[in-house]
Amino acid sequence: MSKISKTPDNKPVVFWFSDPVMPDETVMLSGADFAADSIVEMAIADKEDQLDWVSLAPIQVSEVCMKAVVPSDWQAGIYACRVRTGKVASSTVFLNAPDVWWKQGEGGVDATFAGDWLRIFGKCLDIDGGARVRLAGDGPEIEVLERGGFALRVQLPADLQAGEYGVEIHNGTGGDGGWKSAGSLTVRAAQPDNRPIISILEHGADPTGMKDCTLAIVQAIERAHGLRGGGIVFVPRGRYRIDGILRSGTWIDSPLILPENVSLRGEGANLSSLWWPSRASGPLPTLIECRRRCEIEDLAIYAQGPLNIIITGDSEVTLRRLIIRANPFYMANGITGRHARTALPGGENARARGGGSMISLWGENNRVLDCDLLGPSNAFDIRTGRGTIVAGNVIRGTGGHMLNFCSEMIYESNTFEGSPFAGGNNIALHFGGFISRHIYYAHNTTRHLYGGDHECLTFDGHGGIFFGRVADVTGDSFMPVEIDPGRPYQGTGKNFAGMAVYIIDGRGVGQYRFARERKPDGKLILDRPWDVLPDSSSLIAVGGFNGRHIVLGNTGQDVGTLVQLYPANCECFVVGNRGIRANNINCLSSSGTFLHVKDWSQLSRMEVSWRNQMLDNEVLAGNAWGGGKPAVISGQNFGNAEAYAPETVARAFRHATGFDADPDSDAVPEST
């Protein structure tokens, strides 16, 4: 790392720390202006306004990072912590204090109904089963149904008045001062569903599967759509064939469209089914297109022949207790000889036979619950996803999910059975998305991934829009400066607003913020001030953010990488996951391209892997086959051909460009 300027009084600064941390465990502190003679001071924060500080010699110290061990004879709880150098000390931080990242209820993010559930996500939310939740002020305590360090489930009183409430949380330690704000909550009055029910039999649908029922189903849907507040289209027991023919000789190349506030409801997925036979004219773009506030529940959907997406939806769509059997290879005769290309995914006609994901949803507050899914491609393509829940589903096919630029959502208790051709699952920044954060990814099981990269869970998609220096720095703004004005940085986008801004080297290294706006003169305004201001020694990267996810209690069996945090990734918890015949758990940074020619002046980007914590994961059998490293937990830099420590890459870049004030101190590293 290059030489970094200090504050005039050399006062140390702590801007991040690792927790939860228990007695006899190591805490990591990141910041600035630490020195060889710095010490860590800690105190048990169980009494307000009374802290008995204990001095701890660090077990490791650098200018920007310190580590110390919590005394083994302390009780688990909230600890006050600071760094002291001589007579000056950093501001106090509180380890293990409850830190709420987001809340999610039946009404979406920060919203639920009286008498309904609310989930609270973050870190250090419960210690030894003592978590408590209350409404702010003189409000009542709320019943906690499920406790955990990273997630709580509470039940609101049925007689709670609709309105806006503050929420507070206590993790069972820290005394009266241990209550922390969990933000605001909108409580709505529960509304009964009094929409009328319209049976498709009233419009002549044939329950035997022998006749086309398209017209009858469309008429029932249009009738429900014409009612104030919508309606429920009821599909009684039977099999209903949908050919897409509304009149003799006329094909309607259109999906079945559910308008707003219209639902499809069967008697049960084993009793009521919709059947799309193979279409000679080719696949529809989707079979069912849901507009806002639609439901499909207690139905089976059978489809064969060339297929694309089965169900699409746009916000507040609920899919519950469905069976989907979408098989473009139905009754294919084996996988050898003349049938191999059409029967196997990846064959010449496989893409034409099975196109998009089974379920593609975008927007907010969608639900996919307790469904049984089989198809030729991914089960889910979820985009944006705010307030969405995907839970309790069983998936069989060649792919699990793509969660694209999603934030504040739940993906839990799903089972992906895989196949000999199955790839994996990802949390991604594809299709133009640059930000993904706050996904609760918990208690999922994935088995039998042998195709493609066969990753049980990976982050995907990356890229930057700026890499360079800073000028005209204030607390929450700066001017980006090209390293070589004659060769401006060619990034993957130009709109800085909303992007993550990382200080990857020099003064303030290890911090990130988000760009709120870019002024006409090019100056960036940040969402909040820096703890440590960057200066002329600093290198800045602006780009995507995939972080603050909770990956908890998942199992991968006969898979490749169990969990891979692909760049850029920050502040993720990977906790209590189990691998059985799996490869490694890793987190990757990226130093861009051109490493193979060792022309460091051509370094195209720097994407970080920061502040991730991997706790209590188990690899029960690590002897996976078919390539990949054996079971290890690792962090590394990901380049085109060679790997370097991220800090070393930044140093070599400075040396090659003449940017460093002391270039002789930074030699180009040998490859590792």
User: Per-residue pLDDT tens for 306-321?
Assistant: 888 999 999 999 999 9
* Token pair in block for residue 38: 């710095």
Identity of the highest mean pLDDT range in 247-256, 401-410, 447-456: 401-410
Number of residues in the chain: 672
Q: Does domain 99-188 have CATH number 2.70.50.70?
A: yes
The per-residue pLDDT for 629 is: 54
pLDDT of 306: 84
Domain edges within the chain: 13-95, 99-188, 197-376, 392-463+544-672, 464-543
Q: What is the DSSP letter of 240?
A: E
Q: Which helix (H) or strand (E) holds 378?
A: strand 378-384
Determine what percent of the chain is predicted with pLDDT higher than 90.
65
- Between CA 387 and CA 108 the distance in angstroms is 5
8 Å CB contact between 562 and 580:
no
Cα angle for residues 650, 654, 657 (degrees, 5° grid):
135
The distance of Cα 59 from the centroid of its chain, to the nearest Å, equals 34
> Rounded distance, CA 91 to CA 77, Å?
20
Residue 75, sorted as left (phi over 0), alpha (psi -120 to 50) or beta, turns out to be beta
Structure token pair of residue 82: 């600071």
Alpha-carbon torsion angle 78, 84, 89, 95, nearest 10? -20
User: For the residues of 324-370, what is the DSSP string, one character each?
Assistant: EEEETTTT---SSGGGHHHHSTTSTTHHHHB-S-SEEEEESS-EEES
3-state helix, strand, coil in the chain (%, to 5): 10, 45, 50
pLDDT value at position 54?
A: 96
CA atoms within 13 A on the CB side of 566: 21
Mean pLDDT of the region 321-330: 90
- Band the pLDDT of 432: cuts 50, 70, 90: confident
Instruction: Give 232's pLDDT tier (boundaries 50, 70, 90).
Output: very high
Return the pLDDT at 348. 39
Confidence at 384, pLDDT banded by 50, 70, 90: very high
Answer with the residue of higher pLDDT: 88 or 669. 88
Q: Which residue bears the tokens 């000390």?
A: 89
Q: Which range, 42-46, 566-570, 638-642, has the best average confidence (pLDDT)? A: 42-46
CATH number of the structural domain 13-95:
2.60.40.10
Instruction: Evaluate if residue 605 carries a pLDDT over 50.
Output: yes
Q: What is the mean pLDDT of the segment spanning 593-598?
A: 47
| Mean pLDDT of the region 286-306 | 94
Q: Name the residue with higher pLDDT: 399 or 81.
A: 81
pLDDT bucket at 566, cuts 50 / 70 / 90: confident
Query: Which residue has tokens 């009374």?
Result: 50
For residue range 461-516, what is the model confidence (pLDDT) as tens digits?
Answer: 877 888 889 999 999 999 999 877 666 666 555 678 899 999 999 999 999 999 99
Q: Which of 438, 454, 464, 420 is nearest to 583 (CA)?
A: 454
Statement: residue 645 has pLDDT above 80? no
| Residue predicted with more confidence, 127 or 666 | 127
654 against 313, higher pLDDT: 313
User: Is the per-residue pLDDT at 668 higher than 50?
Assistant: no
Q: Residue 390's pLDDT band (boundaries 50, 70, 90)?
A: very high
Strand partners, 192: none
Instruction: Supply the pTM of this predicted model.
Output: 0.91
Q: What is the pLDDT of residues 349-375, one digit of tens each?
A: 444 455 678 999 999 999 999 999 999
Mean pLDDT across 424-438: 88
In the prediction, which pLDDT does 278 show? 87
464-543 domain in CATH 1.20.120? no
Residue type, 359: I
Mean pLDDT of the chain: 86
pLDDT value of residue 496: 86
Give the HSE-up count for residue 228: Cα atoms under 13 Å, Cβ half-sphere: 0
Homologous superfamily in CATH for domain 197-376: Single-stranded right-handed beta-helix, Pectin lyase-like (2.160.20.10)
User: What percent of the chain has a predicted confidence (pLDDT) above 70?
Assistant: 82
pLDDT > 60? residue 653: no
Residue 269: pLDDT band (50, 70, 90) is: very high
Question: How many Å separate Cα 263 from the centre of its chain?
Answer: 29
Q: Which of the two residues, 646 and 34, has the higher pLDDT score? A: 34
pLDDT of residue 343: 42
**What is the identity of the amino acid at 379?**
A
Q: Mean pLDDT throughout 208-236?
A: 95
User: Residue 607's pLDDT is what?
Assistant: 85
The pLDDT-based confidence of 662 (bands split at 50, 70, 90) is: very low
- pLDDT at residue 625 in the model: 58
What distance in Å separates the CA atoms of residue 81 and residue 422, rounded to the nearest whole number? 48
